[in-house]
Structure 1
Amino acid sequence: MSISGITSIALSGMRAQTTRVGAIASNIANSGTPGYARLNTSLTSIEASRVQAVVSPTASGVDPATELTDLIEAEQSYKANAVVFETGADMWEMLMSIKRE
């Protein structure tokens, strides 16, 4: 796998987690709204090199503990993808400096 492929996968992972956090924020903001359907985020692999977040309403209500747990998990996943992206960027920088010499 190429460095650009690795950074692309990490970037799609960060985007998916951003979508997930948006759904969590909506759930928390609307937790007291009568008839509100909790949004659930499913992560799927597409094209073997990207992650996609699909948000869909569920029949269940909003549980603040579940939302907080999901938020912590999304934060950790985002951070992991960011580290991979930064490592890929560092590798590109090193390759470019070697090429210049």
Structure 2
Amino acid sequence: MTQYEGFEIHVAPLSKNQESDPPPASEAYTYVGYVCHPGANPKLPGHAVSFYAEGDIGFPSAQTALDEGMHVGRAVVDGTHPDLSVLSLVTSGV
């Protein structure tokens, strides 16, 4: 988790080895994450904007996946992500 521009960005790298048998030789990590206001409960509807690596995108290490997830989270906060925005968090007052 990191704080950025008044929001919290939470990212968790995940091993893709759990998803396939045999495990992939490379590109074995992905990520999931969300953006919320500090202290918000992300389990409640409208309290977080979730994101994840699209499709079969993989990363060679957990750190690389984490870094990319944080980059995507900052793009969501900055308003430069093509599909996601924190506007709903700002306008709902949550």
Same fold (TM over 0.5): no
- TM-score, with length taken from structure 1: 0.28
Greater strand share, 1 or 2?
2
Instruction: Decide which structure has the larger Cα Rg and report it.
Output: 1
Structure possessing the higher relative contact order (Cα contacts under 8 Å, 6 or more residues apart): 1
Using the size of structure 2 for normalisation, the TM-score is 0.29
